[in-house]
Structure 1
C-alpha cells in the first residue's frame, strides 16, 4: 500500500473554524506536521472530500490523527467510482477519543475509485467541532 495523496489531488472540507483558513485550513490535513491542523466550525455533520489525481485507485485504509476531545463519532466512508455520479456507502469506522494516529481499513471491493468522502455525523465535542492533525489515504493506483 502507498499513499494516494500524491500529484494534483483535490480536497474540500465542510467548514473551517471562524473561516480562518490561514490557521485551520484544509491544507494542514496533509502537511505532516504535529503543529498544524484542520479545525472545523461548530455543527454536525462535518466532512472531508478528496478527489484523487490518479484515474483508478483502490482505497484500502484511512489514517487519521485527531485532537482528543474533538473526534468524530460513528464515522462513515463513502466512495464515488468512475462509473457513478453519487457517493455510496463503503464502511463505518469508530475512532477512539485520543491524540494518536488511528488506522481504519476500508471495506470496499471497488477498484475504480475517483473520490472519497469521510463523514463525521457527530463529534465528541459538545459543539460538533472536529480537529485533525494528519490525514492519509492508503491503497493502490490501478
Structure 2
C-alpha cells in the first residue's frame, strides 16, 4: 500500500515563530498549501520547531521537507506521541542545504502528535524557511 499524506485540513499546526510576525506573508499555512511560491519563514533563534496534531491516530513512515537553500536545518529531530502521552524521540534526520524536496524514511510509529525541531540552521541568525512539508503514512 502506497504511503499517503496524513496532513489534512483538520490537522492543527503550530510553529515556534514567524518572521516579524508577518503571518499573512510567511505563516505556517504556506508549508501545506501546495504553492511553490509561498513558504513559512521563522524568526531568528537557535532552535525553531513545528508541531502537528492530527484529528485521529496516524501511522507515519516518511517526512518530506523543502527548505530554501541558505535557510535550512542541518539536523531535524522528530518526536511523537499518542493522545495524553509525553513526546518521545522517533528519529533524527540530516537534511542538505538545498532547495530540493528531501524525503526521510522514519521508523513506523502510531501518533496523534508530531513535533519537528529544526536545529543548527545554515542561516547565521537561525532562521528557517520551509516551502513544503508533508508527513506520509496511513490513517487508522
Q: TM-score range by the shorter chain?
A: over 0.9
Aligned length in residues: 138
Deviations 1:14-50 (A, max 9, x none): 0000000010000101001111000000111100100
1:136 alignment partner, one of 123, 134, 137: 134
Matched, 1:62 2:60: no
Cα drift, residue 82 of structure 1: 2.9
- For structure 1, the 5+ residue unaligned runs are none
RMSD: 1.0
Match of 1:104 in 2: 104
1:75 & 1:48 partners in 2: Cα distance? 11
Partner of 1:27, secondary structure, is helix
2:66 & 2:47 partners in 1: Cα distance? 19
Partner of 1:18, secondary structure, is helix
TM-score by length of 1: 0.93
- For structure 2, the 5+ residue unaligned runs are none
Deviations 1:74-99 (A, max 9, x none): 21010011351x21000000000110
1:83 & 1:38 partners in 2: Cα distance? 28
Structure 1 residues 7 and 34, CA gap change in structure 2 (3 angstroms):
closer
2:75 & 2:64 partners in 1: Cα distance? 16
Deviations 1:53-105 (A, max 9, x none): 2x221111100110000001221010011351x21000000000110100011
Detail structure 1 runs of 4+ shifted over 2 Å in the superposition.
none
1:124 & 1:91 partners in 2: Cα distance? 20
TM-score by length of 2: 0.95
In terms of fraction of residues, the more strand-rich structure is 2
Partner of 2:63, secondary structure, is strand
